[in-house]
Structure 1
Amino acid sequence: MTTMQDVARQAGVSLSTVSYALNGNRPIAQETRDRIQAAIDELGYRRNAAARSLAARRSHVLALVLPTVAGGLSGTLGEFAESAAQTARDAGYHLVIWPFDRREHDEVRDLVGQGQADGVLLMEVALDDARVEALASSGVPFTLIGRTRDPEGTSYVDIDFERTITDAVEHLADLGHRTVGFVNHSQRSEVELYGPTVRARDAFLAAAEERHLAPVHVTCDESPVAGRRAALEILVRAPRTTAIITMNESATFGVTSLLRERRIEIPRDMSVVAVVTSSEVGAMYDPPLTSYLAPGRTLGRYAVEELLAALGGPPRRDAPRLVACALAPGGSTGPAPS
């Protein structure tokens, strides 16, 4: 195995000069730095991660904190994690997942205090989130994927739920729909003031009022069975409903299943729009869902770039903190039935 001593011998410099060049502890002449890099490339030398961490007193690890998800990551979360991991890798960091929910803020603080990560990415953020307070008190750099009630002064990126939901409501209103249902996340997430649930609910009701629509908002657990119950609740509460927006990937399967069972044809009798989802999920349906695609890959990159800037990397310039979901037209929306 090639060693740092081999690199020094090949480049004709001392071992300490190679170490300084790799760790950036002292300025090295560009010509010397180029010779060292040429030797590294020729010999195929790869620095030992543990040794590098000891020399720099850094772990070169970024931690992604998110709650444990039954059944694994959704398509949207998977896109985010994959993009974040690649961006971290390109910058010389490893991304690891810490599965802690919002009540386990002490555990997050303890791991951070042990130097297990140089920086933290925090997902699934509530409007009032004790994990944010724990991280702020630790002094370790962190970036939120989401927003607290007042995010001023905090490093964050997030989906623009207000814009996305408003766009979906306007899309249906322009098609002539006057009574619109919305299948949100769970009632528990609403009670716990989970940011996306609360912001989407408020945006839906405000947009419906703006367009003089009759809104039907329901909370729903993350499962197809719960989605069936949510769809039935909408039909019972508002029989004139002609369109449903879903922001719950698992429940959407149940919504469409209940409509088929009731012989309610999509989109002739009922239009369906999925928001904060992926193109892969939308393509699973017949007809394919009209969707507002979650910017998972974009936010994954933005979040890591924000965190790297806090760790002394280059600043993230001219990039928005809020990114709306983009419309992907499908076959599940059409004019309101007469």
Structure 2
Amino acid sequence: MATMQEVATHAGVSIATVSFVVNGTKKVSPATRERVQASMTALGFRNNAIARALASKRTRIIALLIPALEHRMGATTLEFFTSAAARASELGYHLVLWPDEPTGDELTELLSSGLVDGVILMEVRMEDPRIERLTELRVPFTSIGRTRDPSGLPFVDIDFETTVRRSLDYLESLGHRRFGLVIEDLTGTPMEGYAPLPRTEETFRSECAARGLVGTVVNCGSSAPGGRKAASDLLAADPDVTAVMIMKDDSTFGLVSGLTSAGRRVPEDVSVLSVASSTAAGAQHDPPLTTMNSPGRELGRLAAEELINQLDGPVGDLPHVLLPCVLHEAGSTGPAPHAHP
């Protein structure tokens, strides 16, 4: 196997420059980095991460912790992960996806091994024992999500409060006055208290009350059957509803199907807006869904940057970043009709 000196000679640079590229300890110009990496590939140089970790007491590996529940791994989560992984790589780190348990019971064993330098935490609940455990272990971390009181914690998150207000602003501008909110039901599961849900519901209820609007909240089970039942429950609670906001991509097809089966046309009778979703997810429906697009890529990038700043730079103010979803208008929303007979 080739040595660093052989790579340096082949690339026409110093051995120190090769070390900077291998270890990510100093910035190297893109052209020089590419030349060194090309020489490493040509000579079959293999980066010995274990040896470097022993020498530096750093692995340059960070982990994204996500509860090991299959139904949580949706398109938005993948956006967070791929964006964070790409940014970590640009900054000289490797990011691994690390399933964990919502209780945080196994974190001590997983993190005391020293295999990772820090973690990004996802799927945060209003009261999250994993954050308490990470704080106790003094492991550098950043969360994508917020607890009930996040003032002393580093986080980046979707601004669900602003997103709900802007959703209502948009639908009100179309003349709608009777609203439904369809959100996931996690009662009795390990993810009960998942923070986006109560934040969204509380803002929806308070905003509807303040604006003099009719607002009805129904819970939604998984997949299409859950969406169809949510449609039935919503129409039973308010037969005159004209605008529905849903925050569960895998159940949206069932919701639209249930509305249609009940004789409600989308968007002529009922407008449907998918919250914390994406244009790509909305395009899979007929009509294409109007969406409030999740800033997943931006939040993933920022989470990686903020964690690596903790690891590599002087500790400054804790990051508190909130980004709202962005409206993408499509075919599932339109002007409010007269009340359904």
**One-letter code of the match for 1:275?**
V
TM-score normalised by structure 1 residue count? 0.88
Contact in 2 for aligned 1:247/1:275 (Cα 8 Å)? yes
Unaligned runs of 5+ in 2: none
Distance 1:277 1:236 in 2: 26
Distance 2:24 2:332 in 1: 56
Q: Give the deviation of 1:231 after TM superposition.
A: 1.0
Distance 1:300 1:208 in 2: 31
Judged with a 3 Å threshold, the aligned counterparts in structure 2 of structure 1 residues 190 and 201 are, in CA distance, closer, same or farther, namely farther
Question: Within 5 Å, which residues of 2 pair with 1:61-210?
Answer: 61-70=61-70, 73-103=73-103, 105-188=104-187, 192-210=192-210
Q: Give the deviation of 1:125 after TM superposition.
A: 0.6
Q: In structure 1, what is the equivalent of residue 36 of structure 2?
A: 40
Higher mean alpha-carbon deviation, 224-233 vs 10-19, is at 10-19
**One-letter code of the match for 1:302?**
L
Q: In structure 2, what is the equivalent of residue 263 of structure 1?
A: 263
Distance 1:97 1:279 in 2: 25
Judged with a 3 Å threshold, the aligned counterparts in structure 2 of structure 1 residues 41 and 277 are, in CA distance, closer, same or farther, namely closer
Q: Give the deviation of 1:215 after TM superposition.
A: 0.6
Q: In structure 2, what is the equivalent of residue 283 of structure 1?
A: 283
Judged with a 3 Å threshold, the aligned counterparts in structure 2 of structure 1 residues 144 and 37 are, in CA distance, closer, same or farther, namely closer
Judged with a 3 Å threshold, the aligned counterparts in structure 2 of structure 1 residues 83 and 316 are, in CA distance, closer, same or farther, namely farther
Q: Give the deviation of 1:190 after TM superposition.
A: 11
Q: In structure 2, what is the equivalent of residue 322 of structure 1?
A: 322
Distance 1:190 1:43 in 2: 49
Judged with a 3 Å threshold, the aligned counterparts in structure 2 of structure 1 residues 17 and 42 are, in CA distance, closer, same or farther, namely closer
**One-letter code of the match for 1:139?**
R
Contact in 2 for aligned 1:80/1:299 (Cα 8 Å)? yes
**Equivalent residue pairs, number:** 330
**One-letter code of the match for 2:159?**
D
Contact in 2 for aligned 1:165/1:204 (Cα 8 Å)? yes
**One-letter code of the match for 2:112?**
G
- Structure 1 vs Structure 2: percent identity of aligned residues? 43
Q: Give the deviation of 1:330 after TM superposition.
A: 0.6
Judged with a 3 Å threshold, the aligned counterparts in structure 2 of structure 1 residues 16 and 261 are, in CA distance, closer, same or farther, namely closer
Distance 1:262 1:11 in 2: 70
Contact in 2 for aligned 1:271/1:334 (Cα 8 Å)? yes
Q: Give the 3-state SS of the residue equivalent to 1:287 in structure 2.
A: coil
Distance 2:159 2:184 in 1: 16
Contact in 2 for aligned 1:288/1:332 (Cα 8 Å)? yes
TM-score normalised by structure 2 residue count? 0.87
Distance 1:87 1:314 in 2: 19
Q: Give the 3-state SS of the residue equivalent to 1:204 in structure 2.
A: helix
Q: Give the deviation of 1:222 after TM superposition.
A: 2.9
Judged with a 3 Å threshold, the aligned counterparts in structure 2 of structure 1 residues 223 and 55 are, in CA distance, closer, same or farther, namely same
Q: Give the 3-state SS of the residue equivalent to 2:168 in structure 1.
A: helix
Q: Give the deviation of 1:163 after TM superposition.
A: 0.3
Q: Give the deviation of 1:51 after TM superposition.
A: 2.4
Q: Give the deviation of 1:114 after TM superposition.
A: 1.2
> CA-to-partner distance for each residue in 1:102-146, whole Å, 9 max, x for gaps?
22x121222111112111000011111100000001111000100
Q: Give the deviation of 1:18 after TM superposition.
A: 6.6
**One-letter code of the match for 2:245?**
I
**One-letter code of the match for 2:61?**
V
Contact in 2 for aligned 1:161/1:200 (Cα 8 Å)? yes
Distance 2:305 2:166 in 1: 28
Distance 1:336 1:172 in 2: 9
Distance 1:249 1:226 in 2: 11
> CA-to-partner distance for each residue in 1:202-233, whole Å, 9 max, x for gaps?
11111111221111011222321111111110
Q: In structure 1, what is the equivalent of residue 58 of structure 2?
A: 58
Unaligned runs of 5+ in 1: none
Q: Give the deviation of 1:249 after TM superposition.
A: 0.7
Q: In structure 1, what is the equivalent of residue 240 of structure 2?
A: 240
Question: Within 5 Å, which residues of 2 pair with 1:10-21?
Answer: none
Q: Give the 3-state SS of the residue equivalent to 1:64 in structure 2.
A: strand
Q: Give the 3-state SS of the residue equivalent to 2:100 in structure 1.
A: coil
Q: Give the deviation of 1:334 after TM superposition.
A: 1.0
Distance 2:17 2:143 in 1: 39
Judged with a 3 Å threshold, the aligned counterparts in structure 2 of structure 1 residues 239 and 92 are, in CA distance, closer, same or farther, namely same
Q: Give the deviation of 1:187 after TM superposition.
A: 4.0
Q: Give the deviation of 1:337 after TM superposition.
A: 0.7
Distance 2:57 2:191 in 1: 42
Judged with a 3 Å threshold, the aligned counterparts in structure 2 of structure 1 residues 236 and 316 are, in CA distance, closer, same or farther, namely farther
Judged with a 3 Å threshold, the aligned counterparts in structure 2 of structure 1 residues 213 and 97 are, in CA distance, closer, same or farther, namely same
Distance 1:62 1:234 in 2: 43
